[in-house]
Homo-oligomer: A and B are copies of this chain.
Amino acid sequence: MATPMDQDIPELNEFLCFEIYASNLSFGRVYKPVLDPLGLTYPQFLVLYLLWRKDARSVGEIAGALGLETSTLTPLIKRLEQAGFVTRKRDPSDERRVKVSLAPRGEVARTHLDEIRDCVGRATGLTLEEAQELQTSLRKLRTHLADS
């Protein structure tokens, strides 16, 4: 506990936004050693995950699902392509779209999904019930933040 000069200003960790900020960084540090051997970053893993669920999506579709801008995803997906995880090609039915599809290496990475989930799940130290309660609150929070 620090010795604050101003008792009227609370600790930083009494801010919800900071707890989320710091939790996100902590999660990243847990994922890193798990994903590094596969040659993936966490956002790249999220993109692949979407493709494992449904292949051949457009950049905009992926951006919508992740809540990111396409300007963030374009270079990220190009790195995934460069590394052999996905392929990119224009949609013949609408040449404005770029369809992103799984390449062989992307399919292989999928076989590590369970192991990744187990590893990260254990690191949380939460019961399934606690985790789901947290998710429910966060989803509600996220909806409000997005609508505000």
Residue numbers of A with Cβ under 8 A of B are 2-6, 9, 11-14, 16-27, 29-31, 42, 46, 49-50, 52-55, 65-68, 113, 120, 122-126, 130-131, 133-135, 137-148
Contact = CB atoms under 8 A, between A and B. Distances in A.
A27 B145 contact: yes
A123 B147 CA distance: 8
A19 B125 contact: no
Contact of A135 (B2, B16, B124): B16
Contact of A137 (B27, B49, B133): B133
A37 to B, nearest CB: 17
A14 B135 contact: yes
A53 to B, nearest CB: 5
